[in-house]
Amino acid sequence: MIDISIRLRDELVAAAAGSADEVCGLLLGRGERVERAPPCRNVAATPAVRFELDPAALLAAHRAARAGGPAVLGHYHSHPSGDARPSPRDAADAVPDGSLWLIVAGGEVTAWRAIEDGVLHGRFEPVKMRDGGCEGGGDPPQGGDAPRAE
């Protein structure tokens, strides 16, 4: 389970819809909460079908995290094909380090974790999303009572 606001998801969908190439960016936050999703340049040689995060942006984000900034939880990219699941190529590129992968396609966002022996392509495990964007001073979410993903 991760917290990511509907508003942030809408921003990603809008960015993806406005591009014929795959768009990509970082997921920054703390714990299970995605607070920001700054876009990055897609430096892939064939950006219509692949993505590669600008390594300079990635380095800068990790440096900022070490200096006390938000952690780099993972990244997102879009699929202009409209299929909001990681592709076999994504699986081949993914390091099974537990990082978060968001796929934006067809007007929706899906979330995955890159792990060993994932259910999709042997690499990805689906992750549930909830809207952590409410700012009403409600009760903090109680951890531990959510059903575990199988």
Give me the helices (H) in the chain, please: 6-17, 55-66, 88-93
DSSP state of 53: B
**Judged by CB, which is closer to Zn ion: 19, or 87?**
87
Q: Is 19 in the site for Zn ion (CB under 5 A)?
A: no
Site for Zn ion in 51-90 (CB under 5 A): 87, 90
Please, which residue, 3 or 91, has the CB nearer to Zn ion? 91
The nearer residue to Zn ion, 67 or 92, going by C-beta atoms, is 92
CA 150/CA 148 separation, integer angstroms? 6
Catalytic residue, from 22, 32, 35, 135: name it. 22
- In the complex with Zn ion, the residue whose CB is nearer, 35 or 93, is 93
Number of residues forming the site for Zn ion (CB under 5 A): 2
Q: How far is the CB of 33 from Zn ion (least distance, A)?
A: 24
DSSP reduced 3-state for 110: strand
Q: 62-89: string of b/e by CB count within 10 Å (b at 16+)?
A: eeeeeeeebbbbbbbbbbbeeebebbee
The CB-of-145 to Zn ion minimum distance in angstroms stands at 33
Q: Is 11 noted as a catalytic residue in this protein? A: no
- Name, in order, each residue with C-beta under 8 angstroms of 119's C-beta and a sequence gap of 6 or more: 125, 126
Identify whether the C-beta of residue 2 lies closer than 8 Å to the C-beta of residue 32. Answer: yes
Residue nearest to Zn ion (CB): 90
Known catalytic residues? 22
- Could you list the residues that contact Zn ion (CB under 5 A)? 87, 90
